Amino acid sequence: MHYSLLLGAGFSRNWGGWLASEVFDYLLGCPEILSNAALRRALWKTKGAGGFEQTLVRFQSDNLMQMERDRANHEFELALMRMFADMNAALLEVDDLESPSAQRDTVGELLARFDAIFTLNQDLLLEHLYMKSSSRGTQLPGLKGLPGAEGHIADSWVNGLWTDSGQTLNDENLQPIYKLHGSTNWRTAAGGHLLVLGASKTQVIQNSRLLSSYVDIFEQSLCRPDARLMVIGYGFGDTHINKLLIRAAQCGMQMFVIDPKGSDLARSLNSTRTGANVIDSTAEEALFEECLIGASRRTLRDIFDADVVEQKKLERFFNAP
């Protein structure tokens, strides 16, 4: 079997990272949002229609001058960078990936069992708590260091700045970690932030050699005949990711989900479903019905605290025929 792991915001949440709804709460207090009434209105209008990532899409549709739109883009990016900086600063204060009372298998040992890790998270939690301590050895393929303010290139995945090296090559002795939506300390060739946000995610990925190569590797990993995927903390809200998962399921991929809603996650996303009644079923529901081989509704830290029963359920993912 070829084992892949897909992480979303719910993974970082185990150590205090923010979910999309919590990012919204944070942005409301940012000075960039407080000083721009139109941007603040757009933020509220999109709260129930895709969240903060749809804010600029809504803002662009308003009848405003181009100068106002450009200002909104700039100020919203500043607010988002402020949010990521504050979240990273808090995550970097966490000393250990493991719960103090963990008794058996650990989170780090779980992560090390995968042939590849794919993550949609742009924070630095993995770099800080997993990559520096993993006994297996890890890598972020396709990156090269950039000089900092002092002209030196940092030797840390956390402290350094990184950009596309021009080649996405793996050291077969190291576990690859692919950040499918970029990272807070990655930069484009022009010096901008390499982050995938908003409604035009597919376009941003296509315009990046590095990120488009990551998506290709993700698809190849999942479409293998022996592919098995564990999903932790991803809410199935990104259409471009879901399309890849659906394609992989058609190739035989099997999937295990860790989420508070468990196997009900896909159904909970269907706005036409009320109880047992449904007007239109969704592709995500069909995905779950076709390839889900198990789920856990408990948090990752709870599982590895003292939940031996749930640990055995996770073990089935690796041992089932």
Residue 288, phi then psi, degrees to nearest 5: -60, -45
- φ/ψ bin of 254: left (φ > 0), alpha (ψ from -120 to 50), beta (otherwise): beta
Query: What is the β-pairing status of strands 143-146 and 161-164?
Result: antiparallel
Helices 239-250/283-291 angle, 10° precision: 40
145: helix, strand or coil? strand
Residue type, 24: F
Positions of E strands within 28-187: 116-119, 138-139, 143-146, 161-164, 175-179, 182-187
pLDDT in tens, the chain (321 residues): 999 999 999 999 999 999 988 998 999 999 999 998 878 888 888 877 667 777 766 655 555 555 566 777 788 889 999 999 999 999 999 988 887 666 556 899 999 999 999 999 999 999 999 998 887 899 999 999 998 767 778 778 998 999 999 999 888 899 999 999 999 999 999 999 999 987 678 888 999 999 999 999 999 999 999 999 999 999 998 999 999 999 999 999 999 999 999 999 998 888 777 666 666 788 999 999 999 999 999 998 888 887 788 989 999 999 867
Burial label for 30, CB within 10 Å (0-12, 13-18, 19+), is: buried
Site of tokens 């025929």: 321
Q: Length of the chain, please? A: 321
Its pTM stands at: 0.92
Residue spans per domain, the chain = 2-15+101-319, 20-91
Cα angle 178-212-80, degrees, rounded to a multiple of 5: 70
- Location of structure tokens 């488009």: 212
